[in-house]
């Protein structure tokens, strides 16, 4: 019996040595990740040169009805349409003159840099909601100008809203949330432009000026590409947080084990994140039909016990399938831009000739330099003179002629395959 116990202890000791050597060997991290192409340099702007200092003043000066169920009275007022500029709308604009003035001053700034997100909660330190509120107020202001017969000021205000959305998207450290808020603001401006041109006459020269302001799809795609580099920055903070004790949540025994060199290889984890975000950044400039989305991965429990288990499991659900809806929304907003440019060209043609063209090619080169493209498949936007609408192939990439149920006035799509993504359609209201 003693011999057996002795042999067992020797075997266990040998196994322990082998296991220790194996753990130590697998605790060695990889060389530092190559991710220079994903790093976005900070402006490092002082407050006097950073538009963010002025953006903060907008919230201070906004005066909205806080007891409204939507916490934003402007949304209801915008639904009433621009024809009858009600007393309620006028009162709302009068109360928010200072906020609108602060907003216009913000647009005079050249550079914008947001604060870095909180490294422990990963929540943005920016309150983006006032930016949407001020965009809706500016849209009401444009409607007021139109009610007074001032077409020029109405269009200028609506175009400024679109520029404001692009300005938010172009800010350093805007992150994905900032880009989405920028899209919402751009859409508010685009819908106001569509409403204005539906009720006024447009000359070819005026049309070309408006269309020129609405171009730069490549710039919008580039901003979307850079967003994923900003998001990569948040992942670096996540890795840093894994390595250090969290002063907010405290440090449990299990968390301490997960941070051990065997379970967490910072460089390898950083490489995993870099690979995924590099792919996302590269896909951002492509039309939707050329994008490839990885499938969400199921991670079995035993993965936690493999080398770099903490790092691999933490990023296992980072697959681009989780972001597919954001890419589809990018193509949807680009379609709205293309549709608005085309509507302007169509209205200019109708103002001069009294009728709509048979095909969009008839607008080139007098009213349009080229037929705007549909970012879902990179082909020219679709047009139906008979049904009086413009439409996209949408997320199924099939030309089914457009449909009224796919007409939307905002980006509030719901469901896996909503009509607004399946076949986005914009009516021609003239």
The 8 Å CB, 24+ separation contacts for 185-188 are 185/131, 185/132, 185/135, 185/161, 186/161, 186/162, 186/333, 186/336, 186/337, 187/333, 187/336, 187/410, 187/411, 188/132, 188/135, 188/136, 188/139, 188/161
Helix (H, G, I), strand (E, B) or coil at 133: helix
Contact 330, 411 (CB under 8 A): no
Give SS3 for 123. Answer: coil
Q: Which tokens sit at 59?
A: 């919230």
Share of the chain above pLDDT 70, in %: 80
pLDDT at res. 71: 47
Give the pTM: 0.87
CA angle 319, 323, 324 (to 5 degrees): 105
Between CA 402 and CA 391 the distance in angstroms is 5
Find the mean pLDDT for residues 401-430.
68
CA proximity to 318, closest of 228, 224, 256: 228
pLDDT confidence of residue 309: 77
Residue 165's pLDDT band, with cuts at 50, 70 and 90, is very high
Average pLDDT estimate for 185-200: 93
396-402, Cβ contacts within 8 angstroms, sequence gap of 24 or more: 396/422, 396/423, 397/288, 397/289
Three-class DSSP category at 429: coil
The model's pLDDT over 315-357, given as tens digits with 9 standing for 90+, comes to 665 554 568 888 988 999 999 999 999 999 999 999 999 999 9
pLDDT band per the 50, 70, 90 thresholds, residue 182: very high
pLDDT at 251 over 60: no
The rounded distance, in Å, linking the Cα atoms of 187 and 207 is 19
Mean per-residue pLDDT over the chain, rounded: 81
Helices (H) and strands (E) in the chain, counts: 15, 5
Which of 261, 317, 327, 237 has its CA nearest to residue 288?
327
Three-state SS at 426: strand
């Amino acid at each position: 019996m003693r011999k057996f116990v002795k042999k067992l202890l020797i075997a266990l000791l040998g196994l322990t040595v082998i296991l220790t050597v194996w753990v130590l060997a697998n605790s060695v991290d990889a060389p530092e990740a190559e991710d220079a192409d994903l790093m976005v340099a900070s402006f490092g702007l002082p407050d006097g040169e950073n538009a963010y200092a002025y953006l903060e003043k907008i919230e201070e000066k906004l005066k909205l009805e806080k007891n409204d169920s939507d916490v934003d009275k402007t949304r209801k007022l915008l639904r009433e349409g621009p024809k009858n500029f009600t007393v309620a709308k006028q009162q709302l604009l009068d109360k928010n003159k200072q906020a609108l003035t602060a907003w216009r001053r913000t647009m005079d700034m050249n550079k914008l840099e947001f604060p870095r997100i909180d490294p422990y909660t990963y929540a943005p330190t920016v309150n983006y909601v006032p930016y949407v509120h001020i965009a809706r107020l500016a849209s009401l202001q444009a409607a007021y100008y139109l009610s007074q017969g001032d077409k020029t000021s109405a269009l200028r205000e609506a175009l400024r809203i679109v520029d404001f959305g692009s300005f938010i998207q172009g800010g350093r450290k805007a992150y994905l949330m900032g880009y989405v808020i920028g899209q919402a603001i751009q859409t508010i401006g685009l819908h106001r432009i569509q409403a204005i041109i539906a009720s006024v006459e447009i000359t070819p020269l005026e049309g070309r000026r408006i269309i020129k302001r609405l171009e730069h799809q490549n710039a919008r795609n580039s901003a979307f590409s850079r967003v994923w580099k900003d998001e990569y920055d948040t992942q670096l903070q996540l890795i840093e947080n894994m390595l250090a004790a969290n002063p907010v949540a405290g440090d449990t025994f299990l968390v301490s084990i997960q941070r051990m060199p065997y379970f967490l290889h910072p460089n390898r984890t950083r490489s995993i994140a870099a690979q995924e975000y590099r792919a996302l950044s590269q896909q951002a400039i492509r039309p939707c039909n050329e994008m490839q989305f990885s499938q969400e991965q199921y991670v079995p429990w035993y993965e936690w016990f493999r080398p770099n288990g903490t790092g691999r499991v933490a990023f296992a659900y980072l697959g681009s399938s989780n972001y597919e809806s954001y890419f589809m929304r990018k193509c949807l907003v680009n379609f709205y831009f293309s549709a608005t440019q085309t509507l302007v060209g169509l209205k200019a043609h109708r103002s001069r000739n009294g009728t709509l063209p048979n095909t969009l090619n008839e607008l080139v080169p007098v009213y349009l330099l080229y037929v705007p493209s549909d970012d879902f498949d990179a082909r020219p936007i679709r047009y139906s003179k008979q049904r009086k609408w413009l439409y996209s192939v949408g997320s199924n990439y099939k030309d089914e002629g457009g449909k009224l149920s796919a007409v939307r006035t905002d980006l509030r799509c719901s469901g896996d395959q909503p009509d607004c993504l399946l076949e986005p359609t914009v009516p021609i209201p003239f």
